[in-house]
Amino acid sequence: MRTFVILLLALGGNTAIAQQNQPWTSFRGNAQSTGFAPAGDFNALKTQWDFKLDDGGFESSAAIAEQTVFIAGVTNDVKGKMFALRLSDGEKQWEFDSPDGFITTPAYDSGQLYLGDMQGVFRCVDGGGKEIWKYQTDVEINSSANVFKDTVIFGSQNAKLYALSKTTGELVWQTEVNDQIQSSITLAGDRVFLAGCDSLLHVIGAADGNALGTVEIESPTIATPAVLAGEVFFGTEKADFFAVDWEKIEVKWKRPDPQGGSSIRSSAAVADGHIVFGGRNRKLYSLNPVNGEENWTIALKNKVDPSPIILGSRVVAASSDGRLYVIDLETGEKLWEKEFNGNFVGSPAYADGRIIIATDQGVVYCLSLDTE
């Protein structure tokens, strides 16, 4: 039961208790961007099916809900396609075509999907693949959305953070920061956490968009903050890694890159006793969330820009050269590794015993947990 208690703490007071079959509704699985799901022990992964986009590739991750995989990509002529694939066998249920490509992860809520495109259009699409509404920001959207009550919140490269009505797409509030927004949105309680290209962590009221405070982080970042209990965790382009007390809005600890000069672009996964993230120096790290001390480090074969996930006592991590790894969370021991066709830009997603990850060559892979 320990894992379930820790996830409940990570939800920042949410009363929902994680279940084994919980959906993966946004870029890092949930509003708190924990990158965590409960799972039994496993030592390897088995490929169950794959799906091919013949004329393009995927730079984003999947959302998984209602036994369906939702994933969006970019065609070779820079148009967008979002697919609904049956989780059990990969059969296409529908596709949604857009004039512009998608590099964001869909956010799923109550039968609807929300995502922005490379020309700055943010869309709501229903569970059958029909567009319900759209909102124009005029500048590319790299920020994957999250849902707060009756609003959907996302950022744009025009340096603005938007909250739109989930049902109508009308603007509820917007606020502007000092530089473009590329990280995705994290929520805890009634607060939005946004790590920016302006070298600040912004804490913003989710209900009204009012600025509650900022923390100097000394460098830009595109990493999405992860919430565990009362702290927010993320790395920067300078390769520092921060723990911020989100109620006091102040740095709890900072871990400088011991080797220097290698940026952190992966978002952290968080669980009891572990903050797991990758660097462009080809290493995967686990830090103690209390003090930032290193639990373990493992060297992989290429830079770790995709964001790892924690499944129970295991870490599933992807490197940019198309390799996928299973690693023991407690020891950092590599248990399994496989190379796939293409490079990984997006990160793994997990629900109902299945991992979904896609390549820049247009292949979506579904893998199950091998417990033998």
In this structure, is residue 160 part of a structural domain? Answer: yes
pLDDT of residue 78 exceeding 70? yes
In this structure, is residue 210 part of a structural domain? Answer: yes
Q: Residue 90, SS3?
A: coil
pLDDT of residue 12 exceeding 50? no
Condensed to tens digits (0 to 9), the pLDDT of residues 231-263 reads 999 999 999 999 999 999 999 999 997 666 689
* Alpha-carbon dihedral angle through residues 101, 106, 109, 112, given to the nearest 10 degrees: 30
Q: How far apart are CA 330 and CA 71, in angstroms?
A: 31
Q: How far apart are CA 124 and CA 221, in angstroms?
A: 27
pLDDT of residue 10 exceeding 90? no
- Cβ atoms of 263 and 279 within 8 Å: the answer is yes
Q: Residue 10, SS3?
A: helix
pLDDT at 275: 98
Condensed to tens digits (0 to 9), the pLDDT of residues 131-152 reads 999 999 989 999 999 999 999 9
In this structure, is residue 371 part of a structural domain? Answer: no
Condensed to tens digits (0 to 9), the pLDDT of residues 333-370 reads 999 999 998 999 999 999 999 999 999 999 999 999 99
Q: What are the CA-CA distances from residue 80 to residues 76, 100, 140 (Å)?
A: 10, 5, 13
pLDDT at 134: 97
In this structure, is residue 372 part of a structural domain? Answer: no
The one-letter amino acid at 347: S
In this structure, is residue 181 part of a structural domain? Answer: yes
CATH number, position 268: 2.130.10.10
The count of structural domains within the chain is: 1
The one-letter amino acid at 227: V
Q: How far apart are CA 16 and CA 251, in angstroms?
A: 28
| Domain enclosing residue 351, as ranges | 2-366
In this structure, is residue 244 part of a structural domain? Answer: yes
- Token pair 């399994």 is found at 336
| Torsion sign over Cα 76, 77, 80, 82 | negative
pLDDT at 13: 35
Residues composing the chain? 372
Closest CA to 309 of 352, 262, 361, 356: 356
pLDDT at 196: 85
pLDDT at 2: 32
pLDDT at 261: 63
pLDDT at 234: 97
Q: Residue 293's CB: how many other CB atoms inside 10 A?
A: 10
Q: Residue 5's CB: how many other CB atoms inside 10 A?
A: 12
Condensed to tens digits (0 to 9), the pLDDT of residues 167-187 reads 999 999 999 999 999 999 999
pLDDT at 372: 74
Q: How far apart are CA 160 and CA 51, in angstroms?
A: 35
pLDDT of residue 7 exceeding 80? no
In this structure, is residue 332 part of a structural domain? Answer: yes
Q: How far apart are CA 101 and CA 82, in angstroms?
A: 9
In this structure, is residue 265 part of a structural domain? Answer: yes
Mean pLDDT value across residues 308-317? 98
Q: Residue 249's CB: how many other CB atoms inside 10 A?
A: 16
pLDDT at 19: 45
Q: Residue 228, SS3?
A: strand
Closest CA to 82 of 121, 35, 48: 121
